[in-house]
């Protein structure tokens, strides 16, 4: 493979594959069928391409075929009602409502749902007298494209695994760099720079979690193939590295903020930057298939030591923290070396079997109808969004056909379909990108048409198709630009008189985006409605992870699954908190309480990770009877601290200060360090539980009354 092609990320490769597939469908149907049939079949290929994402071959086939055929059926229903415009508006609403209920199955159903919605919009552009022919041609395009999607995914599965793991490695490098920036910006009174650095670290943590899960979905089903085993080993090491990064925040606040403390944090930041750069280098080398970045590093020589910090802190009790900081840094360097070794051909045995690892795969292709029953209530954000979108599409349908200038009224509906999202934050982001992207696309087409010959315009159309698909979840502005170019060129091929259509396209987009914005306040899904359930799930996940972490008999598979569920549950709360910043102030959730909950919950998970590390690495030096008794007591008290009841139990904990640190190293006498870490875990569990209960009270009542829906 060419070097430049190896540098392409997975989403760009996927966009190129989609563009080639649609071009092939156009070519094949253009050779064997009439122009009308070929155009409808190409429309079906586009509908089937929407669920064609990076992934395994069989799920890709199922999703492209299912999404495309459902969209073709929706096309048939809308075209059949074309002689009755008023009735067709109601049918549009019903199809959109039923399709959007598919959101109950989660993000994996989103592309298929969108296929149906786009099928509705496309069908409005077709002549009314050929419903069966158009629907049949569309289905033929779906079948042909789905075959291409399966074959291309099968050929690219191995490449997608390489790219997914490389992305995860690079994301881990970015997280280390972000953690270094937080250390450099640390201040007793949090400044704007520190807040921004912490926000960047949170974003990088989310990016790494998403990258790890995407890689697991591709790698674990391929086990026990040799290359997949190497990839699985890398993912395991990355998960452990993430845990160590999580624990690296512990105890550093005890250093204070004098020159010695700042120097110590700066030395640690330099070390994290070096390790992060090494991971980024490894990720790029894996992506490009190079072997020149796998040479072993002598980390004791390359990483900064803390001798100067020890001299600055000589005679100071804070010097007792330096061995702990150095030990965590050593653990990080060991994980980076292990990842480097796997990249260089070293193998390692997995502590978990392929069956146990497969429990972490979420790319399941099951769609139980029982899932829908949970959302048949107006308290469900899925149902509210379905009703909201159906009303918006129907209203805009009637408005579009009533306006005197609309020769392409479906463009307005398309803007509503792509702009109106389930939350106000996402809707506002799409609205701005959609309008700006459409304006840029209109200018590009106005410049291209008089200067470029038709054959090259068709090449530009195919490129626009691929770009629109590739960047939809990465940079929607580019998707909006490419989608506008694609739509206007398609209209130009049908009719060369485009001058008025460019202006009309821009105007319809603005009107449609404004309608979508307005309807986002109809049956709104404010974040405060879903946060109580999310907080309760997070507390439950933390209790389960605590119980699993503080039980020496728990298997590694159980621990990893519990840890992943806790990460995911906290990520849901954090994402809702971030999105709520775009909502009206009167409905925003209690930010201080939620921030405190997340902060102490993350500290709790860091403490638990440190406990697991002690139990694993120092088990031979830990007295069994005392250790088991301490773990049992900690389990019970942490569960009480995280309880949903009004009272979280005794809130007294030993002060977390330098004098309370054990006088010997964890390597020599680990039990005092284990007891201190358990005490710190209890401290943060109680604070997290208290903040969560305060947030729940604020979310579920106002002046003693339940919040109205």
Task: Report the distance separating Cα 597 and Cα 601, nearest Å.
Answer: 6
| Residue with the larger pLDDT of the pair 484 and 346 | 484
> Which of 374-378, 545-549, 642-646 is modeled with the greatest confidence?
545-549
- The arithmetic mean of pLDDT across residues 311-329, rounded, is 76
The tokens describing 124, both together, are 């409005």
Res. 97: pLDDT tops 90: yes
Domain annotation covers residue 219: yes
Phi first, then psi, for residue 706 (nearest 5°) are: -65, 145
Q: How many CB atoms within 10 Å of residue 42?
A: 23
Distance of CA 588 to the CA centre of its chain: 23
- Determine contact, residues 438/477, Cβ cutoff 8 Å: no
Burial (0-12, 13-18, 19+ Cβ within 10 Å), 80: middle
As for how many domains the chain has, the answer is 2
Task: Report the distance separating Cα 265 and Cα 313, nearest Å.
Answer: 13
- Determine contact, residues 96/50, Cβ cutoff 8 Å: no
Instruction: Using DSSP, state whether 461 is helix, strand or coil.
Output: helix
Say what the pTM is: 0.82
pLDDT tens profile 509-523 = 888 889 999 999 998
Res. 706: pLDDT tops 70: no
Q: Return the biggest CA–CA distance within the chain.
A: 91
In sequence order, the 6+-apart residues with CB closer than 8 A to the CB of 20 are: 152, 462, 466
- Determine contact, residues 360/560, Cβ cutoff 8 Å: yes
In sequence order, the 6+-apart residues with CB closer than 8 A to the CB of 314 are: none
CA quadruple 485, 489, 490, 496: dihedral, nearest 10: 150
Lowest-confidence range among 108-117, 195-204, 489-498?
Answer: 489-498
pLDDT of amino acid 108: 79
Task: Report the distance separating Cα 497 and Cα 202, nearest Å.
Answer: 50
pLDDT of amino acid 289: 79
Choose one of 314, 333, 348: the last residue of a domain. Answer: 348
Task: Report the distance separating Cα 17 and Cα 5, nearest Å.
Answer: 13
Task: Report the distance separating Cα 528 and Cα 99, nearest Å.
Answer: 26
pLDDT of amino acid 649: 47
Res. 707: pLDDT tops 50: no
Choose one of 293, 316, 348: the last residue of a domain. Answer: 348
Domain annotation covers residue 315: yes
Res. 132: pLDDT tops 60: yes
Choose one of 348, 370, 392: the last residue of a domain. Answer: 348
Instruction: Using DSSP, state whether 705 is helix, strand or coil.
Output: strand
Tell me which residue range forms the domain holding 271: 165-348
- Determine contact, residues 58/218, Cβ cutoff 8 Å: no
- Determine contact, residues 195/310, Cβ cutoff 8 Å: no
Instruction: Using DSSP, state whether 286 is helix, strand or coil.
Output: helix
User: Which H, E and C letters describe 611-658, residue by residue?
Assistant: HHHHHHHCHHHCCHHHHHHHHHHHHHHHHHHCCCCCCCCCCCCCCCCH
| Residue with the larger pLDDT of the pair 360 and 634 | 634
* Torsion over CA: 155, 158, 162, 168 (sign): positive
pLDDT tens profile 622-660 = 888 888 899 999 999 999 999 987 554 444 444 455 556
Lowest-confidence range among 98-112, 381-395, 495-509, 588-602?
Answer: 495-509
Domain annotation covers residue 381: no
Please name every residue paired with 228 in a beta bridge, in sequence order, or none if there are none.
none
Phi first, then psi, for residue 664 (nearest 5°) are: -115, 165
Domain annotation covers residue 69: no
Please identify which residue in the block is written with the tokens 């008290």.
Answer: 637
* Torsion over CA: 484, 485, 491, 497 (sign): positive
Domain annotation covers residue 445: no
Domain annotation covers residue 614: yes
DSSP symbol at 252: G
Q: What is the DSSP string of 106-155?
A: -GGGHHHHHHHHHHHHHHTTS-GGGHHHHHHHHHHHHHHHHHHHHHHHHH
State the CATH number of the domain containing residue 262: 1.20.58
Lowest-confidence range among 128-137, 394-403, 555-564, 641-650?
Answer: 641-650
Q: What is the mean pLDDT of the chain?
A: 82
- Determine contact, residues 285/291, Cβ cutoff 8 Å: yes
Res. 498: pLDDT tops 50: no
| Residue with the larger pLDDT of the pair 599 and 169 | 169
pLDDT band at 136 (very low <50, low <70, confident <90, very high): very high
Res. 306: pLDDT tops 70: no
- The arithmetic mean of pLDDT across residues 497-506, rounded, is 61
In sequence order, the 6+-apart residues with CB closer than 8 A to the CB of 594 are: 531, 535, 573, 577, 691, 695
Domain annotation covers residue 380: no
pLDDT of amino acid 695: 92
- Determine contact, residues 485/460, Cβ cutoff 8 Å: yes
The H helix count followed by the E strand count for the chain is: 26, 2
Percent above pLDDT 90 for the chain:
24
Task: Report the distance separating Cα 158 and Cα 593, nearest Å.
Answer: 45
- Determine contact, residues 198/207, Cβ cutoff 8 Å: no
| Residue 84 half-sphere exposure toward CB, CA atoms < 13 A | 9
Domain annotation covers residue 596: yes
In sequence order, the 6+-apart residues with CB closer than 8 A to the CB of 289 are: 1, 6, 162
């Amino acid at each position: 493979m060419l070097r430049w092609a190896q540098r392409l990320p997975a989403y760009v490769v996927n966009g190129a594959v989609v563009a080639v597939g649609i071009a092939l469908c156009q070519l094949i149907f253009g050779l064997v069928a009439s122009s009308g049939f070929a155009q409808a079949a190409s429309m079906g290929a586009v509908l089937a391409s929407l669920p064609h994402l990076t992934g395994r071959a069989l799920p890709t086939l199922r999703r492209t075929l299912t999404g495309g055929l459902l969209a073709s059926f929706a096309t048939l229903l809308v075209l059949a009602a074309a002689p009755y415009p008023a009735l067709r508006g109601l049918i549009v609403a019903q199809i959109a409502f039923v399709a959007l209920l598919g959101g109950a199955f989660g993000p994996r159903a989103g592309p298929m749902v969108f296929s149906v919605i786009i099928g509705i919009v496309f069908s409005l552009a077709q002549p009314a007298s050929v419903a069966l022919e158009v629907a049949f041609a569309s289905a033929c395009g779906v079948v042909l494209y789905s075959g291409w999607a399966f074959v291309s995914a099968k050929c690219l599965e191995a490449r997608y695994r390489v790219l997914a793991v490389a992305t995860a490695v690079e994301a881990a490098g970015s997280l280390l760099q972000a953690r270094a920036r937080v250390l450099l910006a640390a201040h007793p009174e949090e400044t704007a720079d520190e807040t921004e650095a912490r926000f960047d670290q949170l974003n990088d943590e989310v990016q790494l979690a998403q990258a790890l899960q995407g890689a697991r979905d591709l790698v674990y089903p391929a086990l026990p193939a040799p290359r997949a085993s190497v990839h699985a080993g890398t993912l395991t090491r990355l998960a452990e590295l993430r845990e160590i990064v999580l624990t690296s925040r512990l105890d550093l606040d005890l250093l204070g903020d004098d020159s010695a403390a700042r120097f110590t944090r700066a030395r640690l930041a330099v070390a994290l930057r070096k390790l992060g750069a090494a991971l980024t280098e490894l990720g790029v080398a894996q992506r490009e298939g190079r072997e020149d970045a796998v040479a072993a590093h002598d980390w004791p020589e390359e990483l900064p030591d803390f001798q100067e910090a020890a001299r600055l802190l000589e005679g100071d009790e804070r010097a007792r923290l330096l061995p702990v900081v150095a030990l965590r840094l050593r653990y990080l360097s060991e994980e980076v070396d292990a990842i480097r070794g796997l990249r260089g051909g070293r193998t390692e045995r997995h502590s978990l079997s392929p069956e146990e690892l497969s429990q972490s795969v979420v790319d399941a292709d099951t769609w139980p109808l029982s899932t829908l029953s949970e959302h048949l209530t107006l308290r469900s954000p899925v149902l509210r969004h379905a009703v909201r979108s159906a009303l918006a599409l129907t209203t805009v349908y009637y408005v579009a056909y009533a306006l005197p200038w609309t020769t392409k009224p479906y463009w307005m509906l398309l803007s509503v379909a792509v702009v109106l999202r389930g939350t106000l934050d996402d809707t506002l982001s799409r609205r701005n990108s959609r309008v700006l992207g459409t304006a840029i696309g209109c200018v590009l087409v106005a410049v291209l048409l008089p200067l470029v010959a038709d054959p090259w315009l068709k090449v530009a159309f195919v490129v626009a198709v691929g770009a629109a698909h590739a960047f939809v979840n990465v940079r929607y502005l580019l998707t909006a630009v490419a989608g506008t170019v694609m739509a206007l060129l398609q209209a130009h091929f049908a009719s060369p008189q485009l001058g008025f259509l460019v202006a009309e396209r821009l105007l319809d987009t603005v009107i449609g985006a404004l309608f979508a914005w307005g309807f986002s306040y109809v049956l709104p899904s404010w974040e405060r409605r879903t946060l109580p359930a999310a907080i309760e799930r997070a507390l439950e996940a933390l209790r389960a992870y605590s119980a699993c972490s503080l039980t020496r008999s728990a298997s590694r598979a159980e621990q990893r699954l519990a840890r992943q569920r806790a990460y995911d549950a906290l990520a849901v709360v954090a994402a809702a908190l971030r999105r709520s910043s775009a909502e009206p102030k009167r409905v925003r959730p209690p930010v201080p309480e939620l921030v405190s909950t997340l902060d102490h919950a993350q500290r709790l998970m860091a403490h638990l990770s440190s406990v697991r590390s002690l139990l694993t690495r120092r088990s031979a030096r830990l007295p069994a009877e005392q250790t088991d008794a301490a773990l049992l007591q900690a389990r019970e008290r942490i569960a009480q601290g995280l309880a949903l009841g009004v009272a979280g139990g005794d809130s007294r904990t030993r002060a977390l200060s330098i004098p309370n640190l054990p006088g010997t190293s964890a390597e020599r006498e680990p039990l005092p360090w284990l007891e201190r870490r358990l005490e710190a875990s209890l401290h943060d569990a109680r604070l997290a539980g208290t903040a969560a209960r305060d947030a729940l009270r604020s979310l579920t009542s106002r002046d003693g009354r339940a919040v109205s829906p």
